[in-house]
Each structure stands twice: as C-alpha cells, then as structure tokens.
Structure 1
Amino acid sequence: MHIRSTPILFAGLSSQQLMAAYVLIDDYGHGNGFFNKFNFFTGEDPTHGFVDYVSRNVAQGAGLLGERGDRVYMGVDYTNPAGSRGRRSVRLESKNTYEHGLVVIDLAHMPGSVCGTWPAFWALGTADWPFGGEIDIIEGVNDNSFNHMILHTSDGCTINDGGFTGNLRTSNCYIYAPGQNANAGCGIEATNPDSYGRGFNSLGGGIYATDLTSNGISIWFFPRGSELRVLGDNPNPANWGTPAAKFAGGSCDFESKFNGQRLIFDITFCGDWAGSVWGIGGCASRAGNCNDFVQDNPSAFTESYWLINSLKVYPG
C-alpha cells in the first residue's frame, strides 16, 4: 500500500540539535485545512478488521467527520447496523512524510474503551511494510485502560529496558522475533490509567508528543492540566522529564529502520488484535464473537471518535 507523499527531511542533524528546542514547520490546523493534508484510504483493512473505510465525500455525508467548534472530529457510524464489509469508519494518511522531528497532538477526546474497537494514531514508513518501520503512538483494543506504544520493524532492531515510565512488554521490534507473538514488535505499556480511552476522556484529553531522532524514539504523555510546557513555538523535550516510552539502546539502526513516516488516524474493529482477544476480559459476555457485536450494536460506538485540538510537527 503506497501513498504518494511529499517528504520533509530533517537529516544531517546531531543528537544535540535534535534535543534542542524545536521550531514549528507543519501546523495541520482544523476544518478543511486539516483534511486537505490527508489522503483517505478506502481499501481492505490490512489488519483484517470488520470495517468499511469510506471516502472523504461519503464520510462527510454520513457525519463521520467535520468540525466541532475549532476542533477536528473523526468518528464511525453509530446509527446503522454494519454492512457485509463492516462498520463504516475513516482512515486518514498524511500527504507529508517525516524523517526526524517532533510530532505533538493535542486531543480533547480519543475513541473510548469500547468492546470491538481498535483505534490508533500512528506513523508508517513509505517502504514496503515493515521495512520503513511503524510507530504506534496511541493504540489499544476493546475495553483497554492503558495506552500501548509499539515499534514494528524488519529484523535487527532491539531496545533496552529503562529510561521510561511505562512497562516493557517486548524488546525485539522485529515482527517475527523468536520468543514473541507474531507482529508483537517492541512494546511499552503506559502505567497511567488516564493515558487511553475512558480515563483519558474523563480528564478532557491531553497531549502526546513523539520525538523521532537518529538515536531513538521517545513518547511523552501529558494529561490535561499538565500540558503548558509542551505547547508554544519552541517546545524542548530536554525539559520534559522521563518519557512514557523510550525506544533506544539495544541494537537498532534507527536511520535505516525508520524512513518516510506518514501520520495515520484510524478506527478499525475486531481484526487481528481486537478480534483475537475477544474472549479475554469483559467483552466476551456481550456477544459470541467480535464481528457479531460490531454488526448489531451501532449505539455502542457513540464514544468511538477522535476530537483534535491541534496536530503540529516540528523539525530539529
């Protein structure tokens, strides 16, 4: 799956420069200005979800995207039973791609902790997956309470434990790493119950900031009320303290494993992750399987939407 994109290259910067204060280059804005900077993916879900990704025109006509005040809204169909392909949703992929830099997203709301859902805000390389790398910044399934931050790469990329507040789940980023589930990647789970879904939304949201450098990738989470030091014209990660996740150390050439990252929003259903763990936890009592629940319960997904205050990208 290839999307034509315009690369914004931040190469040739030292690690010291990359950890200095950043200067804004790409403000995604809101309304049509926001949506004009993305392509709408309408193909079959690569993760085999029970989802019908629709075009921009269809999504706007169905009320799946738009504005709420100065905020960008992206959601799913919570009115009608799902069709044979799945529940209607959107998947947006940025036209610009990024090599290095700081990605800061301020969310008023993310998709809630809802059975059957698998929302994500992530970045994907333009090379054939996984050779361009994948960075999952916000991700979870079903009724999860804690955010999962994960890298997926080709062979030859591991990370060390330590230097972050989250819990290391897996340390080998290779999608077929021995001793790990297929496509587990290297994963760090947040320890803050307000980092994802229902808890995040109860606070009025918060900010995720992701720093992509030649030496590693770090992700910070700032709950609403603690975000002032992140916003502004010259954010400086060096002043932010310990990140929630830090993918570094180990044995990984980040320059070769991650390139041409495009930013992606999506909300899929069931599929390789949410569907495979349907029988674990409280969702199994809702229906015999994930697809049946998503098919027949549209009103369950009223909280399955993104509400974006801002999305900004800074070079080093």
Structure 2
Amino acid sequence: MQLLQITSTLTVFCGLLVLTRAYDLVRDYSGITFFDEWDFFGSWDNLTLGDVYWLDESDAFSQGLAYINSAGNAVIKVDNTHSIQSPQKRNSVRITTKDSYAVGSLWIFDLVHVPFGCSVWPAVWTLGGPTWPEGGEIDVLEAINLMPSNQMALHTTSGCFHNYTPPNQLGATLVTDCSTAAGCTVGELQPNSYGSGFAAMGGGVFAAQFDVAGIFIWFWSRANIPSSITQSNSSSSIDISQWGPPSASYLAADQCDITEFFTPQQLIIDITLCGNWAGLPEVYFPACGDKGPTGICYNDNVVGDGSNYDDAYFEIPYIRAYTTGGVVPTPTAAPFDIISKVDISTYPGYGSVTIPLSAVTALDTGLHPSPMFYPGNGASGRYQVDFGLMIWWVLSIGAIIFIRLA
C-alpha cells in the first residue's frame, strides 16, 4: 500500500513537471494553407503614416505580393517592379490573424528572410483590442532602414514600466515607460537579428511568451535554435525549459500587471515604408542620407522603379501558436557572453519617438491597387487570374483605339 502511494505521488509530481514545461499547439501557420487564417488590411497606412497601400487579399495574391514559394514558405513583400510617381504610395501587405490569443500563450516565428533597406519598416507584432493602446501591443521584431539589430517593445496605457532590467536579459533596455510613443524598448545585442546579417545566416527564430509572470522574447540565429524547436513539428507540444535567457524580459513584477494592460492578442505582420519612424529626418538622414539626391526618405526610395526593394520581403517557413492551462516557468537561465556584441549606441533609430495612433489625422492621397492581374517577380502558389477583368480591360483599350482611329 505504501509503495502504491509513493508511486501515485511520483506520477502526479511528474505530471505537474510536464504541465509546467510544455505548451500545447493550437495553430500552425505553414505551407499552402498559411494564409487561410489571416485577414488582409486592404487600406493605406493610416496607422504609422507610411508611404504604402496595404492590399486586400485578392490584390495581394494577384499582384504577387503574397504567395507560397517553391520551398513551401510564405512570402510577403513590397512591390519592387512598378514605377511610382509622387505623390503615389507603393503597394505592400499587412496581415492579421483571425484568432486572438489570451495570456498563457506562446508564439514561435521561423523566418528565413526579413525585409530591410533604406526606408523599409517591417514588424512582427501583436495587438489587443480595436482601440490602441488599451489592449496592449507586443513588438517581437521591428526595425528600420539599416539598423544592425532588432528592437523589441511593449505599448500600453499609462502605468506599465520596465524599470528593472532582469540580470538574465540579453538586450539593452532603452526606454522604461511603456506608455510613451516609442513604448518600453529593448535593443537586441546579439548579432544577425536583422538585415543582411540575418539573411546571410539563413535567418533564425523569434519566440514570445505571453504569461501572467511577464512577457519574454527570444531570438536565435539559425545555428543556435534550441533542439526543442528544431525537433518539433506541426502537431507536437513545445518545451521551453532549456531555451536559455531571453533577449527581452518584461517581468510583471517590474510594475506591469500583464492581465491589467493586455487583452487577448492578434498576431500581425506588415511592411511599411518611411512613415513616422523610418522616415523621420533625424533618423533617416544619418543612416540613408546618401541614398539619393534629396536626402528625403520618400523622394529617394518610394518614388521610382522599385528595384531598391528587392530585399523588402518576409520569407516564413512557419508560425506556431501554443497555449497552456498550467503554470510555466519564468526564464531564469544565466546570461552568456555575447560574441561580437552589436553596438546600438551610435546608430539612429533605437528608442525613437513615434507618433501615437491617436494623433494620426492624415487623409488618403495615395495610390490604390491596380485591378490588373500582375504576378510579380517569381510569384507562385496562391494567386488567381481574373479573366473577366482582363477581358474588360482588353475591350476597353480596344474601344479607345477604335474611337481614336475612327
């Protein structure tokens, strides 16, 4: 009887250990069905005043700005083949998950390539609720222009702070008040988390833990991805106990009650151009002032044939969302020495102030998507030709020619 009780106790104890370590998969975004559970924005960038028009689903696929490539990876990109005249905007993509994920969630983003270059402003982030920033925002990946590394941030209403930097946080805390326009920001000090360095290393993986104890963000270059991730698949649970120290560690104990400032979050991926961060003169000019004759973000980048946006694309093998019904461990792994630490102190943009959403009052004066079928460069996978629309265009052009010749 005593042996039976001991065995039963050990079984329960082991079960609790599993419960505290594992997250269960609830959504896998990958392969040919990657885009099925996302909504496309379908409007100009009235949020950060970027010089883009985020296409709706139909136009994004038909213009080759969203597709599945031959490797089975999802691609989201900026138009790099159309010529743009001032004051037109350039077409791009912003997508939002149909699902919302509550506290107790975990997200893993496997990225082969992320957009970069002068004027380019990509982001992988989450948003809670329709009224910003009342539901909170988590910026997992966000950078601009030629920044050498990623910047992470939280955006909240007044009262949430990142005053205390945990000893195991690998990144550098830049702004402590999460209600400022820039949010409470942390700069990544590990190399190859963004830009050409990220691409040269075959990309990497970002992960974010959204927990009552805090919000934690990790980055691993391709060669350093933990085995629990590389050995996982589209149906398995995930164990985070051996992930090591996070790049950003926003502890709830550091004067930010997660359940007070964050509602269930939707995942968002977007690419904008210039706008109220990448296009700020004090940020853009020191990094990219020699890009063109005017030294102005829009004039020297967005206007023209678009060939300078060949690197402005995401390539995504998968994104996975997990949840747990139990308590999971707060990251406590000791920090390690970063070889070739990124020097972010002299580069413009980190911790910069951006215009809050409530201040946006600009009007739509930009280019709207062309109804013409346009497959883009190397587009494959999910797009369809609207033959009726093509016939309408052919007949219209023919009628114009006939009238002029008559």
TM-score, L = length of structure 2: 0.69
Distance in structure 1 (CA, Å) of the matches to 2:101 and 2:20: 17
Identity of aligned residues (%): 34
| Counterpart AA for 1:229 | S
Distance in structure 2 (CA, Å) of the matches to 1:36 and 1:24: 17
Check whether the contact 1:19–1:237 (CA below 8 A) recurs between aligned residues: no
Q: Which residue of 1 aligns with 2:172?
A: 167
Larger proportion of strand: 1
- Alpha carbons of structure 1 residues 18 and 245: separation in structure 2 relative to 1, 3 Å: farther
Structure 1 residue ranges (4+ consecutive) displaced by more than 6 angstroms after TM superposition: none
Q: Which residue of 2 aligns with 1:298?
A: 306
Larger mean Cα displacement after TM superposition, 78-87 or 215-224: 78-87
Q: Which residue of 2 aligns with 1:21?
A: 22
Distance in structure 1 (CA, Å) of the matches to 2:255 and 2:187: 21
The offset of 1:279, in angstroms, is: 4.1
Check whether the contact 1:18–1:213 (CA below 8 A) recurs between aligned residues: no
Unaligned runs of 5+ in 1: 1-15, 176-182
| Counterpart AA for 1:124 | L
The offset of 1:81, in angstroms, is: 2.2
Deviations 1:98-118, CA, capped at 9 Å, x for gaps: 112110011111113x00010
Distance in structure 2 (CA, Å) of the matches to 1:76 and 1:279: 19
Q: Which residue of 2 aligns with 1:125?
A: 128
SS in 2 for 1:198: helix
Distance in structure 1 (CA, Å) of the matches to 2:266 and 2:254: 25
Q: Does 1:37 align with 2:41?
A: no
Check whether the contact 2:42–2:57 (CA below 8 A) recurs between aligned residues: no
The offset of 1:256, in angstroms, is: 1.7
| 1:1-316 equivalence runs, <5 A | 20-31=21-32, 33-45=33-45, 46-68=47-69, 69-82=71-84, 84-100=87-103, 101-112=105-116, 114-159=117-162, 160-162=164-166, 163-175=168-180, 183-227=181-225, 228-231=227-230, 232=232, 233-248=236-251, 249-276=253-280, 277-287=282-292, 288=294, 289-293=296-300, 294-316=302-324
Deviations 1:206-249, CA, capped at 9 Å, x for gaps: 11010000121001111112223324123222221110111113
- Alpha carbons of structure 1 residues 278 and 80: separation in structure 2 relative to 1, 3 Å: farther
Distance in structure 1 (CA, Å) of the matches to 2:24 and 2:84: 44
Distance in structure 2 (CA, Å) of the matches to 1:72 and 1:273: 26
Distance in structure 2 (CA, Å) of the matches to 1:200 and 1:250: 31
Check whether the contact 1:140–1:148 (CA below 8 A) recurs between aligned residues: yes
SS in 2 for 1:25: strand
Larger mean Cα displacement after TM superposition, 59-68 or 279-288: 279-288
The offset of 1:151, in angstroms, is: 0.4
Distance in structure 1 (CA, Å) of the matches to 2:284 and 2:129: 35
Check whether the contact 2:145–2:287 (CA below 8 A) recurs between aligned residues: no
Larger mean Cα displacement after TM superposition, 229-238 or 131-140: 229-238
SS in 1 for 2:95: strand
Check whether the contact 1:52–1:85 (CA below 8 A) recurs between aligned residues: no
The offset of 1:169, in angstroms, is: 0.3
TM-score, L = length of structure 1: 0.88
SS in 1 for 2:238: coil
- Alpha carbons of structure 1 residues 200 and 19: separation in structure 2 relative to 1, 3 Å: farther
| Counterpart AA for 2:169 | F
Distance in structure 1 (CA, Å) of the matches to 2:305 and 2:173: 35
Larger mean Cα displacement after TM superposition, 83-92 or 185-194: 83-92
Deviations 1:254-279, CA, capped at 9 Å, x for gaps: 10211121100100000010001454
The offset of 1:147, in angstroms, is: 0.2
Aligned residues: 292
Distance in structure 2 (CA, Å) of the matches to 1:217 and 1:18: 19
Larger proportion of helix: 2
Distance in structure 1 (CA, Å) of the matches to 2:35 and 2:66: 9
Q: Which residue of 2 aligns with 1:180?
A: none
Q: Which residue of 2 aligns with 1:3?
A: none
SS in 2 for 1:36: helix
Which is greater in Rg?
2
Distance in structure 2 (CA, Å) of the matches to 1:131 and 1:150: 15
